[in-house]
Amino acid sequence: MTSLKVSAPFRLKPWFSERVWGKSDLRPWYESTGTDAAVGEAWLTGPACLVETGAFAGRTLADISAEIGGEFPLLVKILFPNEKLSVQVHPDDAQAQAAGEARGKTECWYVLEAEPGAAVSLGLKAGAGAAEVAASVADGTMEELLEQVPVSVGDMIFVDAGTVHAIGPGVVLLETQQTSDITYRLYDYGRPRELHLERGLAVIKAKTGAGKVKPRAMNGFVRLIEQKYFTVDRFDVPFGETVIDIDGPTCLVGLSGNGTVRNDSGAAGLKRGQAIVLASGSESVIVDAAERLSFMRCAAPPR
């Protein structure tokens, strides 16, 4: 598929996904979710996200993508766990396609908030594999097989396909991933939800590249991660104009402050917890900060 051919930046309204492990109050990120139910994920570039600005206002990202003949290749979310997420694993591209899916799911997490002592479960302990996972699910000891990784605000964590992982309460994460919602749930602490044990065991990798990624200072920004499917950078800019290079399908996600993203074709306001899509390919845009502004640049490789 080709990438979206849209020249003007446009902002998306978050789509809130209800989850049993989520929260009913997502402040200060969002004043309201439109539901009293627990929300676990705010999808910032999901197919159901509505465009709020420009010529496509009122239409979904999926609708625009279908009309243009492409798709936005990154699904960016903010996760709000109030309880433990299930222990899960995602297939890689080849495994997913063998199961009839379009692609696998490799992702990364940027820690926006973290309580003291917060940690994520990432990968299996040495010597554990599919057989040990199956046995631990049966006797309720799955968590004992998982490596625990302490996290703090500003950490970037890579989670490649095949990594057994779980997220618990005490954190808020910005997740950047392949556009896929394929998840195999291995263990769910006794909650009455479907498990996908057979499929999950088949895609587990005992050793993966998952782990914390060391940030790199660049010219005017910090490179948090650069992998096959995505590059994620953080910008902290002062009042005034900053030129940002765009190379491939990209979104900018506001973290704090307010500003405007513009090019010769149009403009959109950058707000906390929302994404502006820049999908036309290689170009430069101007970020006009009304105050000190922090935002993320999540980019897919050019196509």
Three-class secondary structure assignment of 120-145:
EEEEECCCCCHHHHHHHHHHCCHHHH
Q: Which of 252, 271, 162, 243 shows the shortest CA–CA distance to 208?
A: 162
Tens of pLDDT, residues 216-259: 999 999 999 999 999 999 999 999 999 999 998 999 999 999 99
Report the C-alpha dihedral over residues 125, 131, 134, 139, rounded to 10 degrees. -80
70 domain-assigned:
yes
Question: Looking at 182, 212, 242, which one is the last position of a domain?
Answer: 212
| Same-domain check for residues 281 and 174 | no
Tens of pLDDT, residues 263-287: 998 999 999 999 999 876 668 999 9
Question: Looking at 212, 244, 265, which one is the last position of a domain?
Answer: 212
Does pLDDT of 2 surpass 50? Answer: no
- Both tokens of residue 133? 């996972």
Residue 10 pLDDT: 95
Look up the domain containing 255 and give its range.
Answer: 216-299
CA 282 – CA 274 distance, rounded (Å): 22
CA 166 – CA 164 distance, rounded (Å): 7
| Same-domain check for residues 36 and 116 | yes
| Same-domain check for residues 156 and 237 | no
Q: Look up residue 154 and give its DSSP letter.
A: T
Does pLDDT of 4 surpass 70? Answer: no
Q: How many residues does the chain have?
A: 303
The count of domains in the chain is 2
Three-class secondary structure assignment of 81-102:
CCCCCCEEECCCHHHHHHCCCC
282 domain-assigned:
yes
Question: Looking at 162, 191, 212, which one is the last position of a domain?
Answer: 212
H/E run at residue 197 = helix 197-203
4 domain-assigned:
no
Share of residues in the chain with pLDDT > 70 (%): 96
CA 179 – CA 171 distance, rounded (Å): 23
Does pLDDT of 185 surpass 90? Answer: yes
The CATH code of the domain that includes 282 is 2.60.120.10
Q: Which residues pair with 299 in a beta bridge?
A: 231, 250
Tens of pLDDT, residues 27-39: 999 999 999 999 9
Average pLDDT over residues 31-59: 95
| Same-domain check for residues 142 and 189 | yes
Tens of pLDDT, residues 85-123: 999 999 999 999 999 999 999 999 999 999 999 999 999
Residue 65 pLDDT: 81
1 domain-assigned:
no
27 domain-assigned:
yes
Q: How many CB atoms lie within 10 A of CB 52?
A: 17
Does pLDDT of 3 surpass 90? Answer: no
